[in-house]
Amino acid sequence: MMAAGGAQSAETSKTTTTKKTTTASSTTKKTSTSAKPASTKSATTKSATVKPAPPKTIDRSKLLTPAKLTAKAPELFRVKFDTTKGAFVMEVHRDWAPNGADRFYNLVTNGYFDDVRFFRVVSGFMAQFGINGSPKVNEAWSEASISDDPVKQSNTTGMVSYAMRGPGTRTTQLFINYADRNAGLDGQGFSPFAKVVEGMDVVQALYSGYGDGAPYGSGPDQGRIQKEGNEYLKKDFPQLDYIKTARVLPATK
């Protein structure tokens, strides 16, 4: 699928997309009085430790039915990405691009981005990701496009937009802008819905040695990623950085 451009410049290229429970130590003391008044003993019970609740399990089988994943996103929320290069945080503004924000929210809350590779990283341009490691999941989402959002923000450094190959073709692929000059993408319909607010240095450090896909670079073939998933990427492009987990952060007051 087309995302936001080729390897040389953003102006001339096109992007292709084919509770924790607080531990409570409660210590109580009992005074037991024996029959003999002279011998009063104080017995202390052992501390009772409350174990934290296990993390919520994500049912990834839901990813096979995109039509059912239509929850409305909060007006403002943050998502933490833990990657092989470190962590970064995106802040999503639903009013910037409601359709894009809602889709992203449903993808994150259902574990779509876990173990997903940054398969197209072009220095000075952008980092693209969003093809799942499972071919079955990719097949399910291949035609699950969302309606376009008007462009209200600009594709400057740190802004996040969907990759696409034309109007009405946004699905799951995203790119993070590396340079302010990418504002030239605004006129092509790439509508930012989020911005990296923490860890942009991590994003900038993602492995870019493979560059763009052919014929501009030696990066992965998107068609093969769709059909073969992570098996293909691990074998032929082992140095790609990837997302370990992506989770919505608790709202702050």
Residue from 55, 57, 98, 107 nearest 192 by CA: 98
Specify the pLDDT at position 95.
98
81, containing H or E segment: strand 76-83
Confidence of residue 55 (pLDDT cuts 50, 70, 90): low
Q: How far apart are CA 43 and CA 61, in angstroms?
A: 53
First-to-last C-alpha distance (Å) of the chain? 39
Residue 86 CB: number of other CB atoms within 10 A? 14
- Kindly report whether the global pTM for this prediction surpasses the value 0.75: yes
Specify the pLDDT at position 1.
56
* Helix/strand/coil (H/E/C) assignment for every residue in 19-41: CCCCCCCECCEEEEECCCCCCEE
How are beta strands 126-129 and 120-122 bridged, if at all? antiparallel
Confidence of residue 10 (pLDDT cuts 50, 70, 90): very low
Q: Which domains does the chain have, with CATH numbers?
A: 77-248 (2.40.100.10)
Q: Judge contact between 154 and 190, C-beta under 8 A.
A: no
Q: Per residue in 83-139, pLDDT tens?
A: 999 999 999 999 999 999 999 999 999 999 999 999 999 999 999 999 999 999 999
Q: Per residue in 152-194, pLDDT tens?
A: 999 999 999 999 999 999 999 999 999 999 999 999 999 999 9
Cα radius of gyration (the chain) = 24
SS3 205: coil
